[in-house]
Structure 1
Amino acid sequence: MSTPPPARRTSGWVIGRAAGAPIILAPSWLLAALVLTLLFAPTVRSRIGDVGAGVYVVALVFVVLLFASVLVHELAHGLVARARGQQPHEFVLTLWGGHTSFGGAAPTPATSALIAVVGPLANLVLGGVFLVAARAVDATSSGEPGITSLLLYSGAITNGFVGLFNLVPGLPLDGGRVLEAVVWAATKDRHTGTVVAGWCGRVVAVGVFAWALLLPLVQGYQPNIGEVLWAALIGAFLWSGASGAVRGGKAQRAVDQVTFATVGRRAATVGHADSVARAGAAAAAAGAQEVVVLSPDGRPAAYVDRAAAASVPAEAAGTTPVTAVAVPLPVGAVVDASLTGSALVQAVGQATRLAPVVAATVDGRVVGLIRATDVIAAIRS
């Protein structure tokens, strides 16, 4: 499964590196290893008998093989991504399996689909290798299948399941990423693809839970409480990922529509020695909402607080310096008004670390102001 790059590295133990990125074992993996070992132990006991703690050792070996298969899945994503120009950020093994994050979004539908599909295909190939090896062991065995055969067949089954399940067309599964790419290619809109694949993921999440709960009832027997609980957990995980994708697709579409015209406010400019009256006249002449005060070197140094300016009596406006009703703009609190979409949002995000209001310029000329709150409101709407 692939994800956008995290704000910081995932916490956990770095156990290696591949494709220029760390391989991280998240703390939640220990919980998964413990639970899966306990769940697989009865199967081992039924095949090899009660050999005491050895049952759990064999079960743990199975779990390690399972997560090694997950790692192969994630490495397939990362290696193909790197070959297609996307640098992997990290490979993480977690409670739910694993994920790979990249340093940016795929540039084309074909690249996105290719990166997504190689993970499940790697599992299917690995499952085939396990199956061939298991049958080879059986062919050379003179008695009942032993521990090696059990582990190999388990590897074949789990890899086959992981590969096929991940090809189901719904986010956050890899098949959902492929569906997203197909819709993106058909509509020429990446975000439509994300929303469609996210809704399909929600359907899959509900279907997983319904399969475990309703199928037994339809067939006339009681559902297994353990299977229902596992299905509920998996369904909740899928629902959360799918819902996040739907929200993310809508938010990213809003981000792509951000321009200075949608989030900025036009501004007139005055000198630092001008009066409040002169600032008001300049704004009226330019049809602007705001006034920016320029320093002697032409840099946007402040902007007029409209409430403060309105409180100045008319008879005093001509003698009151505009700096008396201005809010300073730190050096660097400037963005390029010709930027659009995520580039503009990122630029505003950087500049508003210095001040909540920044000047917008075109070729060095001040054209307006942008407030961080206006950008946030435009994205949320």
Structure 2
Amino acid sequence: MSAPRPEHPSGWVLGHVAGAPVVLARSWVLAAVVLTLVFAPSVQSWTGGGGLLPYVVALVFVVLLFASVLVHELAHGLVARARGQQPRAFVLTLWGGHTTFGGAASSPATSALVAVAGPVANLVLAGAFLLVADHAVADGTLLQTVLRAGALANGFVGLFNLVPGLPLDGGRILEAAVWAATRDRHRGTVVAGWAGRVVAVGVVLAVLVRPLLAGTRPDLVTVAWAALIGAFLWAGASGAVRAGRSGRAVDALSLQTVGRPAVVVGAQASLAQARATAAAAHAAEVVVLAPDGRPAAYVDTDAAARVPAELAGTTNVVAVCTPLPVGAVVDGALTGDALLRALSTASAHSPVVAALVEGRVVALVRTSDVVAALRG
């Protein structure tokens, strides 16, 4: 599975491929131990032996399985790089693995090709393992059993990842198809996210309903695994739905949607003059300029409201102002993600930011208004 995630995941760096680190997350150790303990009884039944041998063979199979996951992720990254999308890291984790990218795919075709590359790599590995097991290894040997198990695991991972629902790769393909059909990336994400929720519920229901239809009781271990997988899929699908909705809100960001029109006055102006200037321009905010023309402060509307009208003419506007630190400005011509990034940088200096267009202050942007717009 692939998604934009933190660029510097924690763990052990095993090497670099396509300019990106291959990271073994610390949670992988837990997964390796648990899976080894789970597979060991099956290995013991295959071999009929005891002692450490079943655990050694089970561990070899687990390592082989995670190597297949790594091939899956490398396929994502290499195809992405060929399409102009740079991978940031290949990460093996408790849940398998993921590939992080510096940004989203530039087109539906790129998104679909990157997504399908991983499952195809697994299916190719499944065929290779099966070919070796049937034609290059003696029948009935332990090695043949391990290779056939590897083929089965890769075949399952490849086919399951093609199921059309996020966070699976098939969901990314569905997202790309809806994106291409509607020219709306975020609609594709929401649709694929809802499909992923259906898949998550379907996994659990399949494990519960099939035994009941056959007149047997569901196996508790199988139900537990299905519940874990279903919860993982549900969380990923729900995250995708939220991401699609927030992505649409980000695209809609502009000075018109989050800015409050402002006028400017000098530091020597009275509060009455500031009020009159704002009223004449039908503006909600007043910004006070420093002698060098930089936005230095803004009128605190609550403080200004407490000044009686008869005193407004003799009250200096600076008396009811809040300073604007250097850097608390943003280019008002920006929109969408570019505006959000600029606001994120500027808001580190102040929760209220002055928006400039061609060097002139035209509005104030408050962090609370941006948050409300994104939530809305």
Q: Is the 1:91–1:101 contact (alpha carbons within 8 Å) kept by the matching residues of 2?
A: yes
Distance in 2 separating the partners of 1:325 and 1:195: 46
Is contact 1:332-1:354 (8 Å) kept? yes
Q: Judge conservation of contact 1:32–1:95 (CA < 8 Å) in 2.
A: yes
2: distance between equivalents of 1:273 and 1:105?
Answer: 49
Query: Is the counterpart of residue 354 in structure 1 residue 349 in structure 2?
Result: yes
Question: Which of 188, 212, 225 is the aligned partner of 1:230?
Answer: 225
Question: What residue number does 1:96 align with?
Answer: 95
Match in the other structure for 2:83: 84
For residue 89 of structure 1, report the CA deviation from its aligned partner: 1.3
Letter aligned with residue 134 of structure 1: A
Q: AA paired with 2:135? A: A
Letter in 2 for 1:13: W
Separation of aligned partners in 2, 1:345 and 1:97: 33
The gaps in structure 1 that reach 5 residues or longer are none
SS in 2 for 1:22: strand
Offset at residue 11 of structure 1 (A): 1.8
CA–CA distance in 2 between the matches of 1:307 and 1:153? 73
Aligned-pair distance for 1:30?
1.2
Moved more, 172-181 or 259-268: 259-268
Tell me if the contact between 1:291 and 1:304 (Cα under 8 Å) persists in the aligned partners.
yes
Quick check: 241-250 or 81-90, which moved more?
A: 81-90
How many matched pairs? 376
Q: Does 1:167 align with 2:166?
A: no
Distance 1:315 1:35 in 2: 77
CA contact (8 A) 1:48 1:146 kept: no
- Greater shift after overlay, 233-242 or 46-55? 46-55
1:212 aligns with 2:190: no
The whole-number CA distance in structure 2 between the counterparts of 1:271 and 1:117 is 60
Q: Partner amino acid for 2:341?
A: Q
- Per the TM alignment, residue 51 of structure 1 is displaced from its structure 2 partner at its CA by 4.0
Residue identity in the other structure for 1:103: G
1:274 equivalenced with 2:230 (yes/no): no
* 2:132 matches 1:133: yes
- Aligned residue for 1:72? 71
The two structures have a TM-score, normalised by structure 1, of 0.97
2:57 corresponds to 1:62 = no
Give secondary structure in 2 for the equivalent of 1:2: coil
**Letter of the 2:175 counterpart:** E
What is the identity percentage for the equivalent residue pairs of Structure 1 and Structure 2?
67
Map Cα deviations across residues 66-114 of structure 1 (whole Å, 9 max, x no partner). 0000000000011111111111111111111100110000010000000
RMSD (Å) for aligned C-alpha atoms: 1.1
After TM superposition, give the deviation of residue 5 of structure 1 in Å. Answer: 2.8
Match of 2:2 in 1: 2
Q: Give the AA of the match of 1:45.
A: Q
- Give every structure 1 segment of 4 or more consecutive aligned residues whose post-TM-superposition deviation is greater than 4 Å: none
1:369 — aligned with what?
Answer: 364
- Measure how far apart 1:47 and its partner are: 2.0
Distance 1:51 1:232 in 2: 31
Provide the residue aligned with 2:197 in structure 1.
Answer: 202
Paired position in structure 2 for 1:43: 42
SS at match of 2:140: coil
Whether 1:146 aligns to 2:149 is no
SS at match of 1:250: helix
Tell me if 1:322 matches 2:317: yes
Gaps of 5+ in 2: none
Deviation per residue, 1:311-364 (Å, 9 max, x gap): 222232222211111111011111111111111111111100000001011000
